[in-house]
Amino acid sequence: MKKIGVLGLQGAVEEHIRAVEACGAEGVVVKKKEQLDEIDGLILPGGESTAMRRLIDRYGFMAELKQFAESKPVFGTCAGLILLAKRIEGQEDAHIGAMDITVARNSFGRQRESFEETIRVNGIAEDFPAVFIRAPHIVSVSDHVEVLAECRGRIVAVRQGNLLGCSFHPELTDDLRMTEYFLSMARIPV
């Protein structure tokens, strides 16, 4: 059985594991960099990107995450999208920096402005229930990044080769279509 890892340092880890397993793959909580060698794809969950970055640095994950993102499927949701972005507005340094996009943090507002909205995700769903919690949005993309979805005039989902990113939290809904799409990128039948 193919294995999908979920970076287990902070954030919506168990929710992603449940979604992966509901799609028929094995979900693995990744807490050690050595585990990256044992998985076929990786999800960077939503949570708090600054806290995640501190933990990535503390446990010495960064070089391995960058290397993993060069060749294997990686799906970043909300804070995970920020970790994948090459550029972050108002910040000099990126994190993993594998996806050729610029993101703006908390662009839909604070926690109390969180919302759910049905959006169209190209090639995936005409009616996806997207949950936005202190969500970033994608300000700009390079020519080789495919825009998959927009919400309220802002880009909220993209794909660049083996990398998938979204501003919202698909793991917080019962709709598995985004997770299924990612598993198909990892060549896991659903």
Please tell me which residue in 23, 78, 151, 166 is annotated as part of the active site: 78
Task: Please check whether residue 111 lies inside any domain of the structure.
Answer: yes
Residue 161: per-residue pLDDT:
96
Task: Work out how many domains the chain is built from and give that number.
Answer: 1
Task: Please check whether residue 46 lies inside any domain of the structure.
Answer: yes
pTM: 0.95
Residue 86: domain span? 3-185
Mean per-residue pLDDT pooled into runs of 10, the chain (190 residues):
92 96 97 96 91 89 95 96 94 89 83 88 97 94 97 97 97 97 84
Distances (CA, A) of 165 to 1, 34, 60, 139: 24, 24, 23, 13
Distances (CA, A) of 101 to 60, 67, 89, 134, 146: 24, 18, 11, 19, 10
In sequence order, what DSSP letters do the residues of 124-163 get, joined into one string? TEEEEEEEESS--EEEEE-TT-EEEEEETTEEEEEEETTE
Please tell me which residue in 15, 137, 169, 180 is annotated as part of the active site: 169
**Is position 171 annotated as part of the catalytic site?**
yes
Task: Please check whether residue 190 lies inside any domain of the structure.
Answer: no
Task: Please check whether residue 79 lies inside any domain of the structure.
Answer: yes
46 vs 124: CA distance, rounded Å: 20
Task: Please check whether residue 88 lies inside any domain of the structure.
Answer: yes
Task: Please check whether residue 73 lies inside any domain of the structure.
Answer: yes
Phi-psi region of 133 (alpha: psi -120 to 50; beta: other; left: phi over 0): beta
Task: Please check whether residue 168 lies inside any domain of the structure.
Answer: yes
**Is position 70 annotated as part of the catalytic site?**
no
Task: Please check whether residue 171 lies inside any domain of the structure.
Answer: yes
**Is position 23 annotated as part of the catalytic site?**
no
Residue 132: per-residue pLDDT:
94
Whether residue 142 is annotated as binding a ligand: the answer is no
Query: CATH no. for residue 126?
Result: 3.40.50.880
